[in-house]
Amino acid sequence: MTTGYIYVLSNDDMPGLLKIGMTERSPEERAKQLFTTGVPSPFKVQRAMKVREPLKKERKIHEILSEHRLPGREFFRVELKMVNNLFDLTEGTEWTEGTERTERTERTERTEETEETEDKSSFEEIQFEGIYYLENNDSGKIYNTKHVFVGTWNAVCDDIIWESEEFRDQHENIREKTEETDIYEATSRANMEKISRPEECIMEGLVYRWIEFETEESETLIEFQTLYDTFVEWCVEMPVDCWNWKDNIPDKKGVKASLKKWQEKSKFGLEYGKKKADAGPNGYTAKLKFNLKLI
């Protein structure tokens, strides 16, 4: 099982934006590597943690904060407090400045042919316009997932200068296909916009991700207890500990509240009674039912 760091970086010349990513090197080195000639001021490490399976943890945090993400980049327009809340709920060891540094030897510029055979451990997986690429931690150059050199960042690191038109065309073709099935257009994005408390954001975000991947909307009703039990099993299998609940079990009231919000916005709507005698299509308070089917 790999270990590495998840980190949060800020930059004085990018107010309101935070870069959230992962690296197998020290967060300090990663911040220095991003301070290129096109960036006016250096990045600052706001927080970092040493964790197991850092890529999985990074991706899960990105999913939860997807509504705050700049398209195709690892930059998020989000308050540090909310990100810290996610880090607080993530299993790992806190990083402090000056610790866990890895010695780094300066490498001379290599030819393009030599770069294609570089040590693959020096690459970091990144996203550009929703497509995964590999960025060399030493040179900053961009490769596709087959470790073929495709280009470099422009001066402000917001676009790729492609090595050839062929790579640009490949990127555009993949991007078009990705947009057709973009999972971030799920209803969770719209429903999370009005949430102000980080704890509620995490809970509702997790419930909506579970609904998206593990269920289908259905005319057939299913009782809350069955849904809750399945949701708990799904949470236990997740690579990131995005909760801080007693005995590691999701808060039942929070899950029910999130499901009710989903049901209200579904095509079926939500109608239930307080008592069994007043039960509606979705049952009654003590025994709610939802228009979902487990898949």
pLDDT tens digits along 265-292? 888 999 998 888 889 999 998 899 999 9
Residue count of the chain, please give it.
295
User: pTM value?
Assistant: 0.40
pLDDT tens digits along 202-233? 677 788 888 888 889 999 999 999 999 888 88
Distance CA(164)–CA(168), nearest Å, equals: 7
124 and 23 in contact (C-beta within 8 Å)?
yes
pLDDT of 160 > 50? The answer is yes
Return the closest-CA partner of residue 116 out of 146, 154, 152.
146
Distance CA(26)–CA(7), nearest Å, equals: 10
Q: How far is CA 217 from the centre of its chain?
A: 25
Return the closest-CA partner of residue 4 out of 20, 27, 28.
27
